[in-house]
A and B are shown apart, each in its own frame.
Chain A
Amino acid sequence: MIELDALGKRYGDSWAVRDVRATIARGELVAIVGESGSGKTTLLRMINRLIEPDAGAVRIDGKDVRARDPVALRRSIGYVIQHVGLLPHLTIGDNVAMVPRLLGWPRAEIDGRVGELLALVGLPEHRERFPEQLSGGQRQRVGIARALAARPEVLLLDEPLGALDPITRASLQRELARLHRELGLTSILVTHDLLEALALADRVAVMLRGELRQLAPPAELVRAPADDYVAQLVGMVRTQGEQLRAFGAP
Chain B
Amino acid sequence: MTELVRGLPPLLASHLALVLIALAIATAVSLPLAIAVHARPRVAFALLAASAVVQTIPGLALLALMVPVLAGLGWLSPFGFAPAAIALTLYAILPILRNAILGLRGVDAAALDAARGLGMTRAQVVRIVQLPLAAPVIAGGIRTATVWTVGAATLATPVGQPCLGNYIFAGLQTRNFAMLLAGVAASAALALVLDALLAGAERALAGRRKRRALIPAGLFALLAVIVLAVLPRLPYEDAGPAGSIVHATPGAVTRVRIGGKTYTEQYILVELMRARLAAAGLAVDDVPGLGSTVVFDALVHGDVDAYVDYSGTLWANAMKRPGGAPRWQVTAELAGWLAREHGVRALPPLGFENTYAIAVRSDTATRYGLHTLADLARVAHELAIGGDYEFFSRPEWADVQRAYGIRFARQVSFDPALLYDALARGQVDAISAFSSDGRIAADDLVVLADPAAALPPYDALILLSPHVASDRRVACALGELHVSIEAMRRANAMVDADHRTPAEAAAWLAAQLPGSECAKVAP
Shortest Cβ distance from B59 into chain A, in angstroms?
37
Q: A81: which of B117, B120, B121, B133 is its contact (CB, 8 Å)?
A: B117
Q: Does A249 contact B (CB under 8 A)?
A: no
Do A98 and B208 touch across chains, with their CB atoms under 8 A apart?
no
Name which residue of chain A comes closest to B117, CB basis: A79
Task: Tell me how many residues of B have a C-beta within 8 Å of chain A.
Answer: 21
Shortest Cβ distance from A150 into chain B, in angstroms?
9
Name which residue of chain B comes closest to A73, CB basis: B119
Q: A85: which of B114, B119, B128, B132 is its contact (CB, 8 Å)?
A: B114
Do B114 and A74 touch across chains, with their CB atoms under 8 A apart?
no
Q: Write 10 A-B pairs (CB below 8 A) sorted by A numbering.
A: A50-B117, A71-B120, A73-B119, A79-B114, A81-B113, A81-B117, A83-B110, A102-B120, A102-B124, A147-B118
Closest 8 interchain pairs by CB?
A: A85-B114, A75-B119, A83-B110, A74-B119, A79-B117, A85-B110, A85-B111, A89-B132
**A89 in contact with B208 given A74-B117, A98-B118 (CB within 8 Å):** yes
Q: Interface 1/0s, chain B 94-121, versus A by CB < 8 A?
A: 0000000000000011111111111111
Q: Does B8 contact A (CB under 8 A)?
A: no
Do B118 and A102 touch across chains, with their CB atoms under 8 A apart?
yes
**A89 in contact with B210 given A79-B114, A81-B110, A83-B110 (CB within 8 Å):** yes
CA distance A89 to B115 in the complex (A): 13
- With a CB–CB cut-off of 8 A, which chain B residues contact A147? 118
- With a CB–CB cut-off of 8 A, which chain B residues contact A89? 132-133, 208, 210
17 further contact pairs, Cβ within 8 A, besides A85-B111, A89-B132 = A48-B117, A71-B120, A71-B121, A73-B119, A74-B119, A75-B119, A79-B117, A81-B113, A83-B109, A85-B110, A85-B115, A87-B132, A88-B111, A89-B208, A102-B124, A146-B118, A147-B118
Q: What is the size category of the interface that chain A forms with chain B?
A: 20 to 34
Do A85 and B124 touch across chains, with their CB atoms under 8 A apart?
no
Name which residue of chain B comes closest to A85, CB basis: B114
CA distance A5 to B120 in the complex (A): 27
Most buried by A among B116, B124, B128: B116
- With a CB–CB cut-off of 8 A, which chain B residues contact A79? 114, 117-118
Q: Does B129 contact A (CB under 8 A)?
A: yes
Q: Interface 1/0s, chain A 114-156, versus B by CB < 8 A?
A: 0000000000000000100000000000010011000000001
Chain B at the A interface: SS class: helix
Shortest Cβ distance from B131 into chain A, in angstroms?
10
Q: Does A72 contact B (CB under 8 A)?
A: yes
Q: Does A110 contact B (CB under 8 A)?
A: no
**A99 in contact with B119 given A79-B114, A81-B114, A85-B111 (CB within 8 Å):** yes
Q: Interface 1/0s, chain B 216-228, versus A by CB < 8 A?
A: 0000000000000
Name which residue of chain A comes closest to B206, CB basis: A89
Shortest Cβ distance from A138 into chain B, in angstroms?
16
Shortest Cβ distance from B509 into chain A, in angstroms?
66
CA distance A83 to B116 in the complex (A): 14
Shortest Cβ distance from A122 into chain B, in angstroms?
21
Q: Does A206 contact B (CB under 8 A)?
A: no
Q: Does A86 contact B (CB under 8 A)?
A: yes
- With a CB–CB cut-off of 8 A, which chain A residues contact B114? 79, 81, 84-86, 143
CA distance A234 to B244 in the complex (A): 83
- With a CB–CB cut-off of 8 A, which chain A residues contact B133? 87-89
- With a CB–CB cut-off of 8 A, which chain B residues contact A98? 118, 128
